[in-house]
Amino acid sequence: MTLPFSLSAETLGIIGVTLRMAFASTAAASVLGIVLGLLLEKAAFPGKQAVVRLCRTLMGTPPVVVGLAVYLLLMRRGPLGFLELLFTVRGMVVAQVLIITPIVCGMVYSYASRSAPLIRAFAKTMGANGTQTKILMIREMSNEIYFVVITGFGRAISEVGSVMIVGGNIQHKTRTMTTAISLMRNMGDYAQAITLGVVLLVIAFLLQSLSDFLHREGGREENF
């Protein structure tokens, strides 16, 4: 029996490029977003609500808009053209970080707004210093932070608009699973398109399973 899909060398290369981009952008965006989200929750300054609204607005920014902005910045005549990041995986990571960071920041801020005051109050009654309080906060919010990171990774691996513009969908260089599926469909290469689609579905299933597991574990800890 012949399978409707196969893992060719080119397909494996596309998967590799996608995973490299997704892991790098998720790691960078997670660090930035978590730090900014926690700082935003703790800080008190005039216009804070406007900053929060701006962050929430950026969470829904169309990826193609971000891709266009990054393209204009990185193009040869752009202000950052000397970095030569256009049509590279690193350039795609830059675009992805700009997309994912507001999402991570907004989600962490929402979680921290509900739990951080109680955690600080508990830490104060226990005589904890500033560093110990921060460690306790991260520990108590670990399940939420994991969920945020998983969400960011899911967004990174499924993105097509910005990576198409910034990466250029170059074969063996910047072609990702989503851009390849679009291209293969236009070319009539349904076998490879199905293969990449199946891989994306498997990754999405694994991410959802991990998310459900973390929610269950978090619920058990709350019951104790």
Q: What angle do CA 89, 95, 98 make, to 5 degrees?
A: 140
To which residue do tokens 């973390």 refer? 214
pLDDT per residue as tens digits for the range 4-23: 455 678 888 888 999 999 99
The mean pLDDT value of the chain amounts to 87
Residue 220, pLDDT score: 58
When mean pLDDT is compared across 7-21, 30-44, 46-60, the lowest value belongs to 7-21
The residue-averaged pLDDT of 20-30 equals 95
Q: Give the CA distances from residue 67 to residues 61, 75, 166, 219, in Å, rounded to whole numbers and listed in that order.
A: 11, 12, 6, 38
CB neighbourhood size of 57 (10 A): 11
Task: Tell me the average pLDDT across 44-72.
Answer: 92
pLDDT digits (tens, 9 = 90+) for 81-136: 999 999 999 999 999 999 999 999 999 999 999 888 888 888 888 888 878 888 88
Mapping DSSP to helix (H, G, I), strand (E, B) and coil, where does residue 25 land?
Answer: helix
pLDDT score recorded for residue 129: 85
Average pLDDT over residues 27-35: 95
How many degrees, rounded to 5, is the angle at CA 138 between CA 132 and CA 26?
140
pLDDT at 97: 96
Q: What is the mean pLDDT of residues 41-45?
A: 88
Phi-psi region of 169 (alpha: psi -120 to 50; beta: other; left: phi over 0): left
Q: Which residue has the tokens 């830490």?
A: 123
pLDDT score for 137 = 86
Query: pLDDT digit string (tens) for 146-183?
Result: 889 988 998 999 888 899 999 999 988 999 999 999 88
The owner of tokens 């679009």 is 182
pLDDT tens for 61-87 read 899 999 999 999 999 999 999 999 999
Domain 9-223 has CATH 3.50.50.60: no
Give the integer Cα–Cα distance in Å for 190 and 20: 24
Among residues 188, 192, 162, 185, which one has the least CA distance to residue 13?
A: 192
Three-state DSSP class for residue 194: helix
- Residue 7 is predicted with a pLDDT of 66
CA 187, distance to chain mean position in Å, is 30
In contact, 59 and 106? CB cutoff 8 Å: yes
For 60, residues 6+ apart whose C-beta sits below 8 A from its C-beta are none
In this prediction, residue 3 carries a pLDDT of 45
Distances (CA, A) of 63 to 83, 109, 161: 22, 22, 6
The pLDDT assigned to 221 comes to 55
**What pLDDT sits at residue 196?**
87
